[in-house]
Amino acid sequence: MNTLDDYADARTGDKGDTLIVAVLPRTPHNYRQLRAHLTEDAVGEHFCCDVRDVTVRDVATVESFVCELRGVLGGGVTGSPVLDGHGKTLSYHMLTLPIREHDDREGEQR
């Protein structure tokens, strides 16, 4: 099984207690493939959080995605007892999101 890391790079940031993850597909083809896989349900399940707290925005003008996960940073930078209050290491977790292999071929030109 492939992971998101096979198709994209990720960068994280925070706004209070909200984790913001930019997902940057490496090619236009990867962007088209990921449109079907990078959903609120998939991201929420991967991060073990309520899907109602997840928003995934498709930023078509730059062929990328912005994912917002509310309430996952333990109170944010100043209120969190966890080591990574900014959520920087969570970009690596995002990149482990499974992408089913048979779905890789969706949209391929043959």
pTM given for the model: 0.82
pLDDT bucket at 103, cuts 50 / 70 / 90:
very low
Q: Choose between 43 and 109: higher pLDDT.
A: 43
54, 21 contact by CB (below 8 A): no
Q: Which two tokens stand for residue 42?
A: 């998939």
Give domain limits for the chain: 2-77+86-101
* pLDDT tens-digit readout, 8-65: 999 998 887 888 999 999 999 999 999 999 999 999 999 998 888 999 999 999 999 9
In whole angstroms, give the CA distance from residue 16 to residue 26. 29
* pLDDT tens-digit readout, 64-82: 999 999 988 776 666 555 5
In whole angstroms, give the CA distance from residue 108 to residue 94. 24
Residues near 110 by Cβ (< 8 Å), separated by ≥ 6? none
Of 70, 65, 80, 66, the closest CA to residue 49 belongs to 70
Residues near 45 by Cβ (< 8 Å), separated by ≥ 6? 51
